[in-house]
Chain A
Amino acid sequence: MGQYLILLYEDEASWAAVGEHEAGEILAAHGRFGAVHGDVLRGGGWLHPTATATTVRSPGGGGSQDRDGFAAGEDALVTDGPFVETKEALGGFYLVEVPDLDTALALAREVPAPFGGVEVRPLRDM
């Protein structure tokens, strides 16, 4: 079995423009997806738009001198906005546990993402 993160990338402007009724229908579709595939879902979430994002980086891109040597720590550069600005932004995710990529892709086909698409990424063993 392997875990896969299904990342939903959608056009935020389109999401912002939908009426309450349509938004409700999309959410209901997600509800049905979760109900049908609950046995393989290990998690999931719906993100606020990128306008709410805050990014934390090491100054100079790494090699900072905090306690464990890898994190940004005290010197962190904190900025308003997402890590990368894109038209279609990460808006939500599902974490699934399935036998192989074909099964993950079959699930991905069923994820409601009317204003974009989804990316399927395998998780590494840690």
Chain B
Amino acid sequence: MSADPAGAVADAHRREWASVLAATVRVTRDLDLAEECVQEAYAQALVAWGDGVPARPGAWLTTAARRRALDLHRRSAVAARALPLLVVDEVAPEPLGAPGGREPDDLLALLFTCCHPALTAEARVALTLRLLGGLSTPEIARGFLVTEPTMAARLTRAKKKIAAAGVPFRVPGADEMPRRLGGVLSVVHLVLTTGHTAPAGATLVRDDLLDRAHDLARLLRSRFPDDPDVAGLLALVLLTDARRGTRTGPDGELVLLADQDRSRWDAAMIAEGRSLVLEALPARPVSRYAVLAAIAAVHADAREADDTDWVEIVGLYDVLAARWPSPVVALNRAVALGFADGPDAGLAALDALADEPRLAGYGYLAAARGELLRRAGRPDAARVALEEAAMLTANDVERDLLARRLDALA
């Protein structure tokens, strides 16, 4: 815990935002009002914590936010309501600071509300980042290539639908859980992939998004300790995140997997990720996240890039391609094949994808072809492909890397 109040507040924002908000939603039964009250609680903390940071910052903030909500309620500031209150299960609110952690699972209820199937996939991710991640609208907008007003409208519309349509603030029952959990996992996965390689902008990695993916995966693991998809997703987060510090160089330039300083990969994260993969992979039906994590684990196991067990990776992509075929899986499999069986085998596999309409405009296809052509000793053809890839990416760091590879061809 940081000694200065501003640092402590920032720390609490990072750590406690979601649970404070979730506990406040139960009182306000209104997402916007809850956000407002929580923001005010953090503003109060900046002043109040000057005299000393409370022992339990989260409880302090929750009390302040709930008090503010009750205050507004008493002053009937919310009397003229346009929308109905959220449907909340009737649970007597626990006395604040009650020992034993028996509180109703508001955090999980908030997550399932944000990821409700009645909302669009875009809205689910945006709401989750806003309400559970505490990210601002501009931060979310930047992550998803839309303007701030567009993202603000998307959030407003989603919150309005939750209230008007009666999306409940509740953890789904056991009968519904199998189909609801998958929707939540895919939101967390999207936060992970977006944070890992930002689709646009000046930086490759969005630390804020990766941190949120980490938190959400941990939260799910704590609530669903026996679910192989949850274990697989947390493993994927850990094994991906373990490389975070080595994926860019001193000037923010992209460093490819093969060139990363593997001694700087986070060994603790890799160890935990690996043991989660071993736990999740044998489950049947096979978990997609467990297979993705297993691929990341094979990379993590190689002390040098040349030691990578590409045959094993091709085998894992075969599993993905059989159960969840997609052009991107086929592309990644072709790249792995280019290492396992040589660049000509990879190029042959890529040729089969040349007419795939869903890969048209996908820069990684051209980049993969360029790299395979270079290794196959055909620099002129490689140049054409890499130039195409550079045109197709909106991420500055990726474009720089492609430019460097083009220079190296000369």
Contact = CB atoms under 8 A, between A and B. Distances in A.
Interface of A: 2, 4, 99-102, 104-106, 120, 122, 124-125
Overall SS of chain A's interface: mixed
Interface residues of B, number: 12
27 contacts: A2-B84, A2-B166, A4-B166, A99-B87, A99-B166, A99-B168, A100-B87, A100-B167, A100-B168, A100-B170, A101-B87, A101-B116, A101-B118, A101-B166, A101-B167, A101-B168, A102-B167, A102-B168, A102-B170, A102-B172, A104-B166, A105-B118, A106-B176, A120-B165, A122-B166, A124-B164, A125-B84
B13 to A, nearest CB: 31
Contacts of A106: 176
Given A99-B168, A102-B168, A105-B118, 12 more contacts: A2-B166, A4-B166, A99-B87, A99-B166, A100-B168, A101-B118, A101-B165, A102-B167, A102-B176, A104-B166, A120-B165, A125-B84
Interface of B: 84, 87, 116, 118, 164-168, 170, 172, 176
A122 B87 contact: no
Contacts of B168: 99-102
A100 B109 CA distance: 14
Nearest to A124: B164
B166 A100 contact: yes
Nearest to A105: B118
A122 B165 CA distance: 5
* Across the A-B interface, the 8 shortest Cβ-Cβ residue pairs: A100-B168, A100-B87, A101-B166, A100-B166, A2-B166, A122-B165, A101-B165, A101-B167
A99 B87 CA distance: 8
A105 B179 CA distance: 13
Contacts of A99: 87, 166, 168
Contacts of A100: 87, 166-168, 170
A2 B172 CA distance: 18
